[in-house]
Chains A and B, each alone.
Chain A
Amino acid sequence: MRMLSSGLEELASEGVDAASRGRSRIDWELLVERNLAPAYRLASIILGDPTEAQDVTHDSLLRAWRAWPTLRDPLQADAWFQRIVVNACRDRLRHGRRTIAILERLGGDRQMADPAGGVGDRDAIGRAFAVLAPDTRVTLALRFFADLSVDEIAARMGSPSGTIKSRIHRGLRQLRAAMEAAGDSR
């Protein structure tokens, strides 16, 4: 902040709106600090591929930076940015640029000890999740990973709340069916 101020003071003498420029830059840095890791983790879940998630996260940051001056309410910056990330993930999924790599990872070191013996179930969930429809994956990730409410998810995805509710419902039904099928096959 101190580094910025010296340059901005000079600019102020030329009539540049130094305060707003500086504030904008600082707000941006705070936005990144708050949202980079959550966005990357969310994108990883939705896309099922950390490499792809890196691309989407970086792309979302670029998009957000370019649109930064259009953000009317800084208090809504986090929700605004999360919406950009969600849109980027949906675009990526819809265009089918990458297949899901998470299936391979599930057999590796990401298995967690589970006193209830849930590793197998979790693998099955991962596999079932990976083949859900794109919007269903996004919805479930926002609900159960990002812990958003139905209304918040509706706002992020631009869909009616009722659609979000039924999408959650259908997604869970599909997961349950896949889990039961996996249980039958074991």
Chain B
Amino acid sequence: MTDERLERELREWMISAAPTEVPPALAERARRIPSSAPAPERGWLKPRLLAPLAAVAAAVAVVVFAVLATSAVQDLVRVLRPSPTAPVVATGSPVVSSQTPVSAPLVDDAGAFPGGLWARRGTAFYRSTDGGATWIASSIQANPLSVFVLDATHAWTLTIGPGSSSPGCGQGCDIETLHVVVNRTADGGLTWQSTPLSGDYGNTYPVTTFADANVGYVVMAQQRFGPPSTVLRSDDGGATWRTMSTGASLGSLVTVAPGGTLWSGAGGWAGGSGPQLLQRSTDAGATWWVVTLPGLVGAQTPGDNLLVQPRFFDALDGVVAVQIESQTVLCFRTADGGRSWQATAPLSNGAVAAAIITLDHWLAASNPAGKLAETTDGGATWNERDVTALPDSVGSLAFADDLHGVALVNVAPEIPPAALYVTSDGGQSWRPAALAPSSARSTSAIPTQPPAQKTSTWTPVTLPHVAPEGTPVGGPAGGIAAVPGGGFIDFAIAGPTRTIVLYSADGLGWTQRGEITGEDASGVTGPIGFNGKVYVALGTEQGGTNYGPQSNGAAWVSTDLVHWTKAPTQNAFGGAAFSGIAASSDGFVAIGFDQGGQCVWRSADGLRWNVIADEGAFPTGQATDPTGLVHTSRGFVIVGHVEDQPTSWTSVNGETWIRHTLPSGSSGVNVNGIADGPAGLVSFAVGPATVEVAPGDARAPVAPWLSSDGVTWRSEPPSAALFGTNPSVVAGPGGYVATGTIGLDTGARLWTSTDGVKWIPVAGANLAGIESPKVVSDGRHLLLWGDSGNGAVVLVSSGVDR
């Protein structure tokens, strides 16, 4: 079977095998996502104050142990408790259900965020982005008063600061002197930064919520007999805070709706009048307005509390769930941003926990367990579902999406820890969460990008337009190539049989140097090698458009960059596609691949080539992928892989090669390119493990590998700056430059290093909108180019600042 027929058969099979139409059910589910999926801007928190209570006792280190061990604890619990979960069992003795909830791991707190679940046990913090199948552990500094998890990387905690005290913690009192510290992480809990808030917030209950990675609030919710609330806002991710208001009486269930409206709901406390049931602020917490829910005249009613935080799915659509006298749950919907509310069907099953999963899909748990009430029509009707393996005494529910959620099951009445259960089928069945060991694992590292610095200066360049189609840079599969010895060259297609050769000595000024004609002229793309006498430009026959196994390799040679001669068609070029070339005084070496699994070629003059057929070095029966080639003073060096094993190859003459297996334990690492610079040979080892830092965004660590001879390699720790990138590296004046993209962002990024080990993001280079970035260097200049969507963008630099 010919290559052409194989490709045609494959395309035809794919077309025939693919469904012709989108199933209506999928189309409908897709249509409903914006109005039914959890709001994209933020996560939510199901706070449990009992762990903070333990934190209070531990952190302030006052003589309250005896008090805490008595019934006073229960009093205080009821005072502090933000969620109005009614006491299920009023005794102080632990209750273990017949379904043995202690078989599940015990945690102090748990919740969900869009795309994931989280839990906390002491100072161990767990995240799961696969629906609870696996959990990643990291650490927090101390038992927090409040936790807010925005996504897989961003979280905030409030902890008790130095100088706090609780001299007599009886009923009605909290921490009399309370200094609050805001702790923030942007790398999944690997590192935390802390900011103490100025002021004493004694006898309040601090909670925090964030709208996004930058804008967030701390609300000092009012406690019984405590002072009025203070609202603070941060616009820089929690680094700095400013007071927005004092004097309001706010509840502890706070949230920011998409669009910025700040909401406060009363979580309730034992006896007396608390904050208004529901309040909102449209000016960042400066002023507050009481929201009246229909039928609940006099919202400040003891016994009426919100069951969970208000949930908003966009700026208009939201839901609040109100527990009335611990028996009936009444949910209200708004479709106008909270100006008006409509009551839905009451649920009178004594629900103690609820989850507002989407705009229409809500769950409520009552005790004893075994059943969940569910509505999928936005509260018009409720149905009771039998569920399996969910023990008694459900304390809280939280869902990341329609399917994946967590439930906390009280082991002892209202005293943490609680047993953590997860579901992957929307609450139909539950299983104990399989948390990782409590010790934090460093493999969970999601490093923070170091700050960008102006380590190099990049100047935009406009190349002359020579092509009728307006393609200013490169052939179809090529681009600008550095000319060894100095300067840059660009092969610009001027027609089907004519390619213009543009040359620049410094990357800034470009002139036409020559042209290549003939039926394969559009296939010349570079890269270029130069051995001091002859320039060799590689490319493909038959146009060289992208990849086509029917294409052959091709080469053109020149002694002056003006006149070019095409190498004759030869067996060595059969099905070849070249990706790199290097030259010594004796000749040239090229890397790539061909139909037979060959991947290295050599030529003395650039016109006649032979395949390096060395099964020991380059086994054709295995996946042998060279990814980088250089020529050093010791000879040629190639890096790449044989199957999953990182490998290097060295050769003095380009004919005889020695294969070296790179550091043990590195199987699966993707060795990406090579550069020979001031600190020697540098390559990047990507992976093998990945971390899903955000929905659909799996990133891998990138470790610089250094070598002086291409034989022995030293693996440096993964670079924080390069985490999640797929970088390529070149050596240039002053050091090394890497370019690539981060995560799902297709925009170009740039990093520099003077030693190949420490990499710094580059500030000042305007890379906005550039895709598929590439960098080349002629030894005197660096040149970056990429696709802006409206043509190529070219930037030139004189080198890396030392």
Contact = CB atoms under 8 A, between A and B. Distances in A.
Chain B contact-residue range equals 35 or more
Contacts of B694: 67, 70
A98 interface: no
Contacts of B577: 165
30 contacts: A14-B337, A15-B283, A16-B260, A16-B337, A40-B22, A42-B18, A58-B29, A61-B30, A62-B33, A62-B37, A65-B37, A66-B114, A83-B746, A84-B696, A106-B17, A110-B17, A129-B10, A149-B546, A160-B670, A162-B579, A162-B625, A162-B626, A162-B627, A163-B670, A165-B577, A165-B592, A169-B549, A172-B3, A173-B597, A175-B10
A45 B14 contact: yes
Contacts of B626: 162
B19 A40 contact: yes
Given A145-B11, A165-B547, A32 B30 contact: yes
Contacts of A88: 696
B17 A175 contact: no
Contacts of A53: 19
A172 B596 CA distance: 11
Interface string A98-137: 0000100110001110100010011001100100000000
A16 B16 CA distance: 48
B547 A37 contact: no
A65 B35 CA distance: 11
A54 B26 contact: yes
Contacts of B696: 60, 63-64, 67, 83-84, 87-88
A63 B14 contact: no
A41 B20 CA distance: 8
Given A162-B593, A168-B549, 8 more contacts: A14-B261, A61-B30, A84-B744, A118-B12, A145-B14, A163-B627, A169-B594, A180-B1
A166 B37 contact: no
B701 interface: no
Interface string B712-731: 00000000000000101000
A180 B97 CA distance: 63
Interface in A171-186: 172-173, 175-176, 179-180
Interface of A: 7-8, 10-11, 14-18, 21, 25, 28-29, 32, 36-37, 40-42, 44-45, 48, 50, 53-54, 57-58, 60-70, 72-73, 75-76, 79-80, 83-84, 87-88, 91, 102, 105-106, 110-112, 114, 118, 121-122, 125-126, 129, 140-141, 143-145, 149-151, 154-155, 158-166, 168-170, 172-173, 175-176, 179-180
Contacts of B625: 162-163, 166
A66 B23 contact: no
A84 B3 CA distance: 31
A143 to B, nearest CB: 7
Contacts of B485: none
Question: Considering residues B26, B477, B741, which has the most beta carbons from chain A within 10 angstroms of its beta carbon?
Answer: B26
Contacts of B18: 41-42, 44-45, 145
A44 B21 CA distance: 11
A155 B6 contact: no
B33 A140 contact: no
Nearest to B18: A41
B772 A151 contact: yes
A110 B16 contact: yes
In the A-B complex, the 6 residue pairs with the smallest Cβ-Cβ separation, listed nearest first, are A63-B695, A84-B696, A66-B114, A16-B259, A41-B18, A63-B696
A144 B282 CA distance: 52
Given A28-B34, A63-B115, A87-B696, A54 B336 contact: no
Question: Considering residues A17, A68, A69, which has the most beta carbons from chain B within 10 angstroms of its beta carbon?
Answer: A69
B34 A65 contact: yes
A159 B670 contact: yes
B769 A69 contact: no
Contact of A21 (B27, B259, B477): B259
Given A62-B33, A159-B670, A159-B726, A125 B13 contact: yes
Contacts of B546: 149-150
Contacts of B395: none
Question: Considering residues B38, B314, B695, which has the most beta carbons from chain A within 10 angstroms of its beta carbon?
Answer: B695
Contacts of A160: 627, 670, 672-673, 726, 728
Contact of B19 (A50, A66, A79, A91): A50
A55 to B, nearest CB: 9
Interface in B232-263: 258-261
Given A14-B261, A73-B747, A143 B547 contact: yes
A165 B115 contact: no
Contacts of A63: 115, 695-696
B6 A58 contact: no
Interface of B: 1, 3, 6-7, 9-19, 21-23, 25-27, 29-31, 33-34, 37-38, 40-41, 114-115, 212, 258-261, 282-283, 314-316, 336-337, 339, 401, 477, 546-547, 549, 577, 579, 592-595, 597, 599, 623, 625-627, 640, 670, 672-673, 694-698, 700, 726, 728, 741, 744-747, 769, 771-772, 789
Nearest to B591: A162
B338 to A, nearest CB: 10
A11 B315 contact: yes
Contacts of B772: 151, 155
Nearest to A141: B14
B623 to A, nearest CB: 6
A114 B11 CA distance: 13
Contacts of A48: 17
A110 B31 CA distance: 29
A185 B392 CA distance: 61
A54 B19 CA distance: 11
Nearest to B672: A160
A44 B19 contact: yes
B695 A67 contact: yes
B79 to A, nearest CB: 35
A158 B339 CA distance: 46
A61 B28 CA distance: 12
A41 B461 CA distance: 41
A45 B6 contact: no
A69 B41 contact: yes
A155 B747 contact: no
A17 B226 CA distance: 36
Contacts of A166: 593, 599, 623, 625
A21 to B, nearest CB: 5
Contacts of A91: 698
A143 B548 CA distance: 10
Given A37-B22, A44-B18, A151-B772, A161 B579 contact: yes
A169 B595 CA distance: 7
Given A160-B673, A166-B625, A172-B3, A140 B10 contact: yes
Contacts of B115: 63, 66-67
Contacts of A11: 259, 315-316, 337
A69 B40 contact: yes
B25 A67 contact: no
A59 B745 CA distance: 19
A54 B30 CA distance: 10
